[in-house]
Structure 1
Amino acid sequence: MMRDLQLSASRYYAGTASSEDLGALVREFITHTQTVNDWLTNAVGDAASYKAHFGTPRHLLADYIDANKYVRNVSQHVMHIVSPDDEVNLVGGTLGMRLYAHWDEVPAAVHAKLRPGTQSLRPAYDAKLFGKEVMSTMMEVLRFYADVVPDVIHRDLNGEWTGFPLMNQPGMSHALHPEEPSDSAEARAWMDGRRPGGSSRVICGQVTVEDRPYVFGFTFDGRHSFAAFSETIEQVNHDISLGFPYFSGDLAANVEGANEAFPDALQGVVLASREEVSSWGTPVTRVHVQGDWSTIDGEGWSQFVGLENKAIVPISMRHEIRRARRLNALTPPSATRR
């Protein structure tokens, strides 16, 4: 059930960058939210502890669940569909366009037809959903469940939330992951303390930027890479200690360009490995400081690393770049559906 809820949120976000009916995607999320809520409310042995989050003291995010229940009941009992407002914010450019829609108002005449129990949920809708950006409210629902019943979160084989992170949108600071802190400094610590996104990385060289050595290469998710990476020596060794696989190997001899296979991958080069990375890569157990070197064309790597580390680059831009690379948040929806 939680997998369905997580994927419905991810599908909604993907839909904001396409021509899909956002209203239908919202209703899918609402349905799965209430399914999870009903399941936990009636769970044998755990129902009382779950219901307590809606009592006194009340969980800070509980109103998001009641607000979603209100929307579900409005559509079920009076056949009024609550969809995103027609007024949307369109952002983006050559790197991809995206709609940021907001929750619409529920007319008073529709509300008047509801049962008293559902009417009592209206304040939660007005406070938490009405006028708010839709995806951000979906994230709050997921955060609620992650906080009160963390064991129900569905994770993939890499231990990552199924359906996350969301794909990076250049210039936008909205969270790409339910666990992502809103403060950039806290978010940096969170990112550096967890495994990188993806399933493995291939190290292609080392470069010194502002007197500090950095390792660079490409992050793979299975056989495909949608993002390059750069890390400090210390960070790579920490990642390895967490069990994340880094490899060395002849990248040029084992991969080929694959951008044409992923038309929605607009933010970087796409590489496809002919075989599993582990079949041609040599596992790296520890990285040491060396002089600058590169197994591929070394031009541009200093600038690549500097974008996320040089003081001359605005902090907000550095954070956005770092987040996209570290979380591997450049993987397009077309790749996740394969």
Structure 2
Amino acid sequence: MTRPPHIALTESELPALKASMRDLQVAASAYYAHTAGAGSAEDQATSVRSFLSAAQVLNDLLTKSVADKAAYAALFTRGAPGTELISAVKYVRNVSQHVLHVVRPAKTFRIVGGDLGFRRYMDWDEVPDDVHDQLHKGTQNLRPNYRAHLEGREVMGTMLAGLRFFAGLHPDVVHRDRRGEWTGFPLTSQPGMSTPLHPEEPADQIVAWEWLSARVPNGDCRVISAQITVDGTVYVCGDTFIDRLTFTPFVETVDQVNRDITAGFPYLSATTHEHVVDCTSEFPEARQSRVLRATDDLAMWTTPVDVLESGADWGRDADTGEGRGLVLTESREGVLGFNAYLIRRARRLNALVPPR
């Protein structure tokens, strides 16, 4: 059930707000991209400061420029969830804006990963007393918010919380790409890490499983290349395409595919292996799966699926056992439920695509 907006926004107000929200979303996703591999600490810091600036621009527009600014101010007066985080962001943004002090993540960090790629998880640094003392009194009063909601906390998680706050004010504030997805999202999957890849992703894993199934998959389309029956359940498998590229396979039940089609997501059918070439070497950041490129436009070699019906198993993957392997990696009984969720999330969100 969709919650009513916290504030009323007019059509004339939305373009500027969505543009600022886009800046905020892009800064957050850029920061995350810079935490991968040998990402530069300076690039990480720049993205953090860009996020702070964009958040304060959006905060100022809502505070001073929209017609329903009283409703926005009332959220802070009554201490509505998320408002203290926005006040914390305002505090450290003012540090960056008004004091000769470089705002950046703390120098200590946690690093995770291995052969499939490393990523650093950074925390917000403390603001030294001598820096705090140079701020105006109004900003100084916000320090408790910073210490409670940012200082020592993991940066990306708090960025996502900020995005959720603004998105919760009014659904039309979110900036979306041509596919209807949040601009800049999902984040790229990090193996073994359950931290959210999307601002809308529920924290509870049971709820998140349902969320994944209720939303349409990411990508331009999915091409079915096999049907396989495992333990009495009929599945189809294939590849998710974005333009002519596929970074991840998929596996779904027939019922799930038909729900996706009803919701407007396109599924196609083809013998994919006859129409693609391996181009993994061109994408060194795509370390979790192979990358394939279609040799021609998909419309030239695929058939649209209007309604998927099951029959006898078919396709190369059904014969080689690869399809069964795809199914078992997403089965809560086949592997630990934790790992199964991470695999399904990466495939359903198409979150193995590196920043391009």
TM-score of the superposition, structure 2-length normalised?
Answer: 0.91
Question: Which residue of the other structure, out of 4, 8, 12, is the alignment partner of 2:31?
Answer: 12
Please state how far the C-alpha of 1:318 moved relative to its aligned partner: 0.7
Question: Which residue of the other structure, out of 2, 21, 32, is the alignment partner of 1:2?
Answer: 21
The reply to whether residue 41 of structure 1 matches residue 41 of structure 2 is: no
Distance 1:310 1:86 in 2: 38
1:320 aligned partner:
342
- Identity fraction in percent: 48
Structure 1 stretch 278-287 or stretch 170-179: which is displaced more? 278-287
The reply to whether residue 280 of structure 1 matches residue 324 of structure 2 is: no
Counting matched residue pairs gives 333
Please state how far the C-alpha of 1:40 moved relative to its aligned partner: 1.7
Q: How does 1:88-103 map to 2 (within 5 A)?
A: 88-103=109-124
The reply to whether residue 51 of structure 1 matches residue 70 of structure 2 is: no
Q: Is the 8 A contact 2:28 2:156 kept in 1?
A: yes
Which residue identity is paired with 1:93? Answer: G
Distance 2:231 2:131 in 1: 62
Please state how far the C-alpha of 1:39 moved relative to its aligned partner: 1.6
Q: Is the 8 A contact 1:230 1:305 kept in 2?
A: yes
Distance 2:69 2:29 in 1: 28
Distance 2:268 2:334 in 1: 32
1:139 aligned partner:
160
Q: How does 1:232-243 map to 2 (within 5 A)?
A: 232-243=253-264
Q: How does 1:1-338 map to 2 (within 5 A)?
A: 1-17=20-36, 18-20=38-40, 21=42, 22-56=44-78, 58-295=79-316, 298-309=320-331, 311-333=333-355, 335=356
Q: Is the 8 A contact 1:197 1:328 kept in 2?
A: yes
Distance 2:142 2:276 in 1: 55
Structure 1 stretch 286-295 or stretch 4-13: which is displaced more? 286-295
Distance 2:88 2:151 in 1: 9
Structure 2: 5+ residue stretches without partners: 1-19
Q: Deviations over 1:11-62 (max 9, x none)?
A: 0000000422211111111111111111222223122222222111x22111
Distance 1:183 1:207 in 2: 30
SS at 2:65 equivalent: coil
Which residue identity is paired with 1:45? Answer: A
Please state how far the C-alpha of 1:142 moved relative to its aligned partner: 0.3
Q: Deviations over 1:261-301 (max 9, x none)?
A: 11100000101123332332111011112222114573322
Q: Is the 8 A contact 2:331 2:337 kept in 1?
A: no
Which residue identity is paired with 2:71? Answer: S
Please state how far the C-alpha of 1:256 moved relative to its aligned partner: 1.1
Please state how far the C-alpha of 1:316 moved relative to its aligned partner: 0.4
Distance 2:45 2:176 in 1: 27
Distance 1:32 1:221 in 2: 29
Which residue identity is paired with 1:292? Answer: D
Distance 1:94 1:290 in 2: 40
Distance 1:298 1:240 in 2: 28
Q: Is the 8 A contact 1:207 1:214 kept in 2?
A: yes
TM-score of the superposition, structure 1-length normalised?
Answer: 0.95
Q: 1:31 to 1:165 in 2, by over 3 A?
A: same
Q: CA RMSD in A?
A: 1.3
Distance 1:121 1:275 in 2: 57
Please state how far the C-alpha of 1:310 moved relative to its aligned partner: 5.0
Distance 1:303 1:88 in 2: 36
SS at 1:264 equivalent: coil
SS at 1:293 equivalent: coil
